[in-house]
Amino acid sequence: RTEFTLKEIMSSGGAEDDIPQAERKTVTDFCYLLDKSKQLFNGLRDLPQYGQKQWQSYFGRTFDVYTKLWKFQQQHRQVLDNRYGLKRWQIGEIASKIGQLYYHYYLRTSETSYLNEAFSFYSAIRQRSYYSQVNKEDRPELVVKKLRYYARFIVVCLLLNKMDVVKDLVKELSDEIEDYTHRFNTEDQVEWNLVLQEVAAFIEADPVMVLNDDNTIVITSNRLSETGAPLLEQGMIVGQLALADALIIGNCNNQVKFSELTIDMFRMLQALEREPMNLASQMNKPGMQESTEKPARRENPHKYLLYKPTFSQLYTFLAASFKELEANSVLLIYLSATGVFPSGRSDSEGPYDFGGVLTNSNRDIINGDAIHKRNQSYKEMHCLHPGDLYPFTRKPLFIIVDSSNSVAYKNFTNLFGQPLVCLLSPTAYPKALQDQSQRGSLFTLFLNNPLMAFLFVSGLSSMRRGLWEKCQDYLRKINRDIAQLLTHSRSIDQSFLQFFGDEFLRLLLTRFIFCSATMRMHKIFRETRNYPESYPQLPRDETVENPHLQKHILELASILDVRNVFLENTLDDY
């Protein structure tokens, strides 16, 4: 039992009457704050997950109470030790809850700086060994609190790319799990071992290692930095739209995941975030109004991360995002999901006749990459069809589909004349390319870390830091040139240019073209289904098969000494 009545607490410290009034009040106030904080924290679960405004005041109140509680236990530690019997693991629990609050605030706002705050609270727990005494108590539920703290800390470190810390935490967690299962004969041993396996696979998902001179691994970040997106030229005519909201959906069978993030979701969410800033210099406490001085740059787009959603969940979040989308704002939908193919022959070619991507159902049995249904004349129910997205094309919509049936979304119709672009992955990769699908899709890797993807298709698995940085510089030059190709094109669909004013979308579009051009020049990517496609189609000769761009790709291959992997005379082959 962790809770005691005030009377029990007081009497355990000696005769009740002996306790000074001030100390009695200290314990009373602490118990009140502790109780209030738990009530508010538990209430967070009842807040709607979608909609951006309803939760803010509640979060603010919760932060306030936890801030008071944290300061209170610091100021009155000795009295609480003597009269309340405050244990170090209880302080650890408060710090852990504050870390969780910051992490959930990050999930709600997409402001990466809150991850740093979560990290500092989780780090303090470890540095001050708040949970160290837990193992001496004969209470398995306390040890589980400690294990959960480790799992949460690992998620935050992964999102901050602190891989060296992750490796230390995994080792510590492994020892803790071994000790836990040895001491208490519990049923959740398999689950905790699965957590270890998942995080180990997650850490090793990158196909290429960048090495320092002493052979330590360089941690590369793929968030948007100041020099990340190619700058617009003076006088370049592009739209003023801004990416405001994104749905990142992961529903691939057998893909590496940790917590409720697949590796594809993890990569895409970082492609839609800026590098974290130091929160103290940037803004006030969460839930409070920000200072009158405006931040020097635009915020990150807001994101919903949906792991294996059902159709109704997906549609609910989509409708909420659509409803809150302001004028001149863009909604991005990223789908990384198993393909669902039409099972019957259809005479028509409508938006529900090509299948789509899988939505989750606990009742369906999935066979490989396709779902077999009872009646051939009906459409697939647990599937997001292109037609399902039609109502949302009333506002600017940017869609990325990474799936074995991505081409279903090529058959889009722009009904409302709003800016609309779909970037579609290859539906198959060459057999000669070692199968990486479990460790994440190659297409998404190109959108997140194009140089790493380029090295992988070139057969390289490691590289020295100096060469990596030289290639990154060259890739920035290629991106600038791709931006010029797009904006100077005479036949390109205007939708591409309307999205081009936004830094995140500009970077995604230039990386998409780099990906497509690379695959078209590669010797083993020879089938049409090996290439990305788009709706509307890009003018090939001005973009993905432009000789100027092809020359750049061969130059990059020469720097890496892998020119033999690419076709020299690509234009002659068409």
| Per-residue model confidence as pLDDT tens digits over 245-271 | 999 999 998 899 998 899 999 999 999
Specify whether 316 is located in the same domain as 180: no
Q: End-to-end alpha-carbon separation of the chain, Å?
A: 75
pLDDT at 29: 94
Lowest mean pLDDT among 342-351, 485-494, 541-550: 342-351
> H/E element holding 191?
helix 189-203
- What's the pLDDT score for residue 534? 96
| pLDDT of 228 | 73
Return the closest-CA partner of residue 243 out of 95, 110, 100, 50: 110
What's the pLDDT at 230? 79
Specify whether 262 is located in the same domain as 159: no
Question: If pLDDT is split at 50, 70 and 90, which confidence band does 377 have?
Answer: low
Residue 365: pLDDT band with limits 50, 70, 90: very low
Cα(460)–Cα(52) distance, integer angstroms:
43
Q: Classify residue 229: in a domain, yes or no.
A: no
**Two structure tokens written together for 49:** 């997950």
Question: Which pLDDT score is estimated for 92?
Answer: 93
Same-domain status, 83 and 22: yes
In a domain, 366, yes or no: no
DSSP character at residue 370: B
Q: What is the percent of the chain where pLDDT is above 90?
A: 63
Is 206 within the bounds of a domain?
yes
- Tell me the C-alpha distance between 484 and 320, whole Å: 36
User: For residue 45, what pLDDT band results from cuts at 50, 70 and 90?
Assistant: confident
This prediction has a pTM of 0.89
Q: Residue 468 pLDDT more than 80?
A: yes
Query: What does the CA dihedral 95, 98, 100, 106 come to, rounded to 10 degrees?
Result: -140
Widest CA span of the chain, in angstroms?
Answer: 97
At 105, the amino acid letter reads Y
Q: Same domain, yes or no, for 184 and 266?
A: no
Work out the mean pLDDT of the chain and round it to a whole number.
Answer: 86
Cβ-contact 408, 386 below 8 angstroms: yes
CB 41 within 8 A of CB 95: no
452 part of a folded domain? yes
Task: Return the higher-pLDDT residue of 4 and 172.
Answer: 172
Q: How far apart (Å, rounded) are the C-alpha atoms in residues 162 and 487?
A: 38
539 Cβ partners below 8 Å, 6+ apart? Answer: 489, 491, 492
What is the CATH classification number for the domain harbouring 124? 1.25.40
- Rounded Cα distance, 117 and 111, in Å: 11
pLDDT at residue 336, rounded to an integer? 96
Residue 480 scores a pLDDT above 90? yes
In a domain, residue 397? The reply is: yes
- Position 573 scores a pLDDT of 47
- Domain membership of residue 223 (yes or no) is no
Q: Is position 132 within any domain?
A: yes
pLDDT > 50? residue 502: yes
Which of residues 306 and 292 earns the better pLDDT score? 306
Final residue before a domain boundary, out of 187, 210, 233: 210
CA gap 257, 263 in Å, rounded: 6
pLDDT reading at 194 higher than 70: yes
Do 334 and 457 lie in one domain? The reply is: yes
Q: Are 77 and 175 in a shared domain?
A: yes
Residue 513 confidence (pLDDT)? 97
The answer to whether residue 305 scores a pLDDT higher than 70 is: yes
Last residue of a domain, one of 210, 234, 266: 210
Give yes or no for residue 561 having a pLDDT over 50.
yes
Range of the domain at 96: 1-210
Examine the fold and report which residue of 189, 210, 231 is the final residue of a domain before the chain moves on.
210
Which amino acid, 222?
A: N
Residue at 515 is within a domain: yes
The tokens for 556 are 């990059």
- Quick one: pLDDT at residue 370? 47
Are 247 and 200 in a shared domain?
Answer: no
Q: Among the listed ranges 15-24, 38-47, 193-202, 455-464, which one has the minimum average pLDDT value?
A: 15-24
Residues 206 and 252 in one domain: no
Residues 194, 252 within the same domain: no
Q: Choose between 506 and 53: higher pLDDT.
A: 506
Whether residue 224 has pLDDT greater than 90: no
Q: Cα(484)–Cα(232) distance, rounded to whole angstroms? A: 9
The number of distinct structural domains making up the chain is 2
Confidence band, pLDDT 50/70/90 cuts, at residue 1: very low
Residue 217: strand pairing partners: 211
Same domain assignment for residues 163 and 263: no
Question: 365-375 as b/e, with b when 16 or more CB fall inside 10 Å?
Answer: eeeeebbebee
pLDDT of res. 5:
52
Same-domain pairing of 415 and 311:
yes
Report pLDDT for 235. 64
| pLDDT above 90: residue 286 | no
Q: In terms of domains, do 31 and 137 share one?
A: yes
Nearest alpha carbon to residue 495 among 443, 534, 448: 534
